[in-house]
Amino acid sequence: MYYVYILKLSNGDYYTGLTNNLERRITEHKDGKSPTTSRFLPIKLISYTAFDSKSRAEELENYLKTGSGIAFRNRHLV
Q: CATH number of the domain at 50, please.
A: 3.40.1440.10
The pLDDT tens digits for 42-74 are: 999 999 999 999 999 999 999 999 999 999 999
CA distances 52 to 24, 55, 56, 57, Å, are 18, 9, 8, 8
Overall average pLDDT of the 14-27 stretch: 98
Under the banding of pLDDT at 50, 70 and 90, the label for residue 32 is very high
Strands (E), the chain: 2-8, 14-19, 44-51
Q: Say how far apart CA 42 and CA 38 lie, in whole Å.
A: 9
C-alpha gyration radius of the chain: 12
Which domain covers residue 27, as residue numbers?
Answer: 2-76
Q: Give the global pTM.
A: 0.95
Count of domains observed in the chain: 1
